Amino acid sequence: MPLRSANLNVMIRAAREASVKLKRDYGEVDQLQVSKKGPADFVTAADIRTEKILRGELAKARPDYGFLMEEAGAVEGADQDRRWIIDPIDGTTNFVHGIAHFAMSIALQEHGKITAGIVFNPITEELFTAEAGNGAYLNDRRLRVSSRVGLDNSVFATGIPFMGRGDDQDHQRFLSEMAAVMGASAGIRRFGSAALDLAFVAAGRYDGFWESGLMPWDIAAGIILVREAGGLVTDIDGRDMRLEAGTILASNPTLHQPLGDTLRKARK
């Protein structure tokens, strides 16, 4: 079993506490009160309730830390150098359609750097964890990114723009990216949760992942998972990754350059 810091244990306990009601909500998804936050961008009572539980559990253990949350936004803490970054349900559209591919994502940011993260699918009980310098794990098994060396036998994941997200130019750029990667790879997958996509890259299930139009809570935990599993993470232009960049490119070290070159050429 990997050694876990006190902060990582706090994150895991919070996620497991929140998962009790979330699994119950998922079992009654047809009866959930669902409202639209924007076109094809759903927010449910379960989202809000899960975030409230996570915030409460984390604040109970670390009352001075701040928060950055998908639903409630930023909350400053007395300790301005540390904050939790929370996505209560990454893959909400999957959730409300009864598709068991969604996750809670929690990251700890200290002095501007992500130092720990978890991605937890409460339905499959897959718990992805990582801490800076201590590796990445799926439950108690150490993770490594894939070792594939060619685009032609690699499978990549992405997120596809949908109604209300991006304009016509963004959609056309994405179609160009898709065409380029389709023509060079063994396939592309779109499962609807950036947090799990990054966790799957860390686990070697996908060889790489790219997406645009993302928010910090979508990717914060996934970034440290990939890096601690031996992968590389930048923005699509190959620059150092910033949570506010809005784009991400993650893969094993061998494929990062050729995948990035393929995407950047398609974006011109």
For the segment 51-108, what is each residue's pLDDT rounded down to a tens digit? 999 999 999 999 999 999 999 999 999 999 999 999 999 999 999 999 999 999 999 9
Domain region containing 246: 151-267
CA 206 to chain centre: 14
| CA-based nearest residue to 258, from 184, 202, 197 | 184
Residue 158 token pair: 């992405």
pLDDT given at position 165: 58
Tell whether 173 and 196 lie within a shared domain: yes
For the stretch 230-239, contacts whose Cβ atoms lie closer than 8 Å and that sit 24 or more positions apart, written own/partner, are 230/144, 230/145, 231/145, 231/201, 231/202, 231/256, 232/256, 234/260, 236/210, 236/212, 236/260, 236/263, 236/264, 236/267, 237/264, 238/264
121 & 49 share domain? yes
pLDDT for the residue 255: 98
**The pLDDT of residue 207:** 98
Give the domain CATH number at 51.
3.30.540.10
Residue 261: inside a domain, yes or no? yes
Is residue 203 situated within a structural domain? yes
Report yes or no: 110 and 93 within 8 Å, Cβ to Cβ.
Answer: no
- Predicted confidence band of residue 175 (pLDDT cuts 50, 70, 90): very high
Contact 223, 113 (CB under 8 A): no
pLDDT band at 162 (very low <50, low <70, confident <90, very high): low
Q: Do residues 230 and 145 make contact, with C-beta atoms less than 8 angstroms apart?
A: yes
Q: β-pairing, 247-251 with 208-212? A: antiparallel
Q: Are residues 117 and 181 in the same domain?
A: no
Same-domain pairing of 131 and 106? yes
Decide if 24 is inside a domain.
yes
Number of structural domains (the chain) is: 2
Q: What does the pLDDT look like over 211-250, one tens digit per residue?
A: 999 999 999 999 999 999 999 999 999 999 999 998 999 9
- pLDDT of the residue at 1: 61
SS3 145: coil
Together in a domain, 234 and 207: yes
Burial of 246 (0-12, 13-18, 19+ CB in 10 A): middle
Q: Is the per-residue pLDDT at 38 higher than 70? A: no
What is the spatial distance between Cα 161 and Cα 175, in angstroms, rounded to a whole number? 10
The answer on 163 and 87 residing in a single domain is no
pLDDT at 39 over 60: no
Average pLDDT score over residue span 124-140 = 97
Confidence of residue 44 (pLDDT cuts 50, 70, 90): confident
Structure confidence at residue 33 (pLDDT): 73
Instruction: Confirm whether 1 is domain-assigned.
Output: no
Mean pLDDT for 172-197 is 95
Residue 25 lies in a domain: yes
Mean pLDDT of the chain: 93
Does this model's pTM top 0.85? My answer is yes
Judge if 11 and 120 occupy the same domain. yes
